[in-house]
Amino acid sequence: MKKIASWAAVWLLLTVCSVQAQFHGVTAELKLDQDQYMPGEDIKLKVRIMNRSGQEIVLGGAGDWIVLSVVDEKNRSCPKLGEMPIEGEFSLQSGEVGTRTLNPTPYFDFRGAGRYWIMARIRIPQWKQEITCKSVHFSLFSGVALPNLENLQFGMPLAAGVTNAVPEMRKYSLLKVTFLKEMKLYFRLTDSTGRIMRVFPIARMMSFSDPEAQIDRNNNLHVLHQTGARLFSYAVINPDGDWVTRQTYTYNDTRPVLKISADGKIYVAGGERQETPDDLPAPAPDSH
């Protein structure tokens, strides 16, 4: 009975949110580009506001124009880890539509696999009123760590002026994740306590792909894996979890592989480089 009651509470909440999504010509809705994520992955939550009230509305002046909350599938509130930065005043004339993108992941404690709902209240100070948005849901799924590629540890260089200190240790992991019948290769960076610092997809992945990974002398992670019948993705990610390089290679006469040069540099040998709009750094405008 408790499980039924819990789901009934969630359903009642969704129903109320749906009914109250409009106030005097102003409507607000939440949107997610996808509904499946890895624990710790950034979530791009889009807040879309349409003003048909006949007058200008001003939002964001007080820094709390939107109030977010997150509940799990048992209708338990997820604790806040910090205050989300939402400052910045903006206005909408009648007939205008505005969209703001927020990332709730660093500011709410949802880490376990399962289903979650994000709810929001939009405050309109000049009317002293709020709009309660219809909630959106997403699910968290745990990935499968790849053998020998789930514990790539490295030490961070010492800060300027610091000597003889114990190095800060971090860890790269590569994981295989299947979302909606599509397999993806994910990158994850954790600190010495296991705290997730960054997690994001590198590219799609073939079921038979056997990714290669090497750490260079600057502690950048180099990853090469197969994304199609004759396509390979090459990625370089730095110790802070930021992209350095993203390239595509094709299998022509030889298969692309990672190699280490005599001076210790890691590079792709074999295959043929294929420039794409997603390359990092971006291709020069006159390179085609």
| CB-based contacts of 54, cutoff 8 Å, min separation 6 | 25, 94
> In terms of domains, do 41 and 83 share one?
yes
The pairing of beta strand 66-72 with beta strand 36-37: unpaired
Query: How close are the terminal C-alpha atoms of the chain, in Å?
Result: 64
Does 188 lie in the same domain as 79?
A: no
Same domain for 150 and 117: no
pLDDT for the residue numbered 64: 80
Q: Is 131 in the same domain as 152?
A: no
Kindly state whether residues 208 and 267 are assigned to the same domain.
yes
213 plus 254 within the same structural domain: yes
Least confident of 5-14, 207-216, 266-275: 5-14
By residue range, what is the domain housing residue 34? 2-140
* Structural domain contains residue 198: yes
Residues 9, 56, single domain; the answer is yes
Within a domain: 84: yes
Q: How confident is the model at residue 286 (pLDDT cuts 50, 70, 90)?
A: low
Q: Is residue 282 part of a domain?
A: no
**Which tens digits make up the pLDDT trace of 181-210?**
789 999 999 999 999 999 999 999 998 899
Tell me the per-residue pLDDT of 127-156, one tens digit each, with 9 for 90 and over. 988 999 999 999 999 899 999 999 999 999
Neighbours of 7 (CB within 10 A): 13
> How far, in Å, CA of 42 to CA of 103, rounded?
6
Tell me the three state secondary structure of residue 75. coil
Are residues 201 and 257 both part of a single domain? yes
Residues 206-265 pLDDT 10s: 988 999 999 999 999 999 999 999 999 999 999 999 999 999 999 999 999 999 999 999
Q: Is the pLDDT of residue 20 over 60?
A: no
Indicate whether 51 and 121 sit together in one domain. Answer: yes
33 and 89 share one domain: yes
Banded pLDDT at 159 (limits 50, 70, 90): confident
- Given a contact cutoff of 8 angstroms between Cβ atoms, the answer to whether 204 and 182 are in contact is yes
Can you tell me the distance from the alpha carbon of 45 to that of 64, in angstroms, rounded to the nearest whole number? 16
* Predicted model pTM: 0.83
- What does DSSP say about strands 243-250 and 272-274: parallel, antiparallel, or unpaired? antiparallel
Average pLDDT value for residue range 4-15? 39
Q: How confident is the model at residue 22 (pLDDT cuts 50, 70, 90)?
A: low
CATH number of the domain that residue 128 is part of: 2.60.40.2970
* 194-223 burial code (b ≥16 CB/10 A, e <16): eebebbbbbbbbeeebebbbeeeeebbbbb
Last residue of a domain, one of 140, 175, 202: 140
DSSP 8-class letter at 133: P
Residue 122 covered by a domain:
yes
How many separate domains does the chain show?
A: 2
Q: Based on the domain organization, do 173 and 67 belong to the same domain? A: no
Asked if residue 6 has pLDDT above 50, the reply is no
Closest CA relative to residue 212, chosen from 184, 235, 178 = 235
> Are residues 186 and 61 part of one domain?
no
Query: Can you read off the two tokens belonging to residue 178?
Result: 């299947």
Instruction: Please determine, for residue 76, whether its predicted confidence score (pLDDT) is greater than 60.
Output: yes
pLDDT score of 60? 82
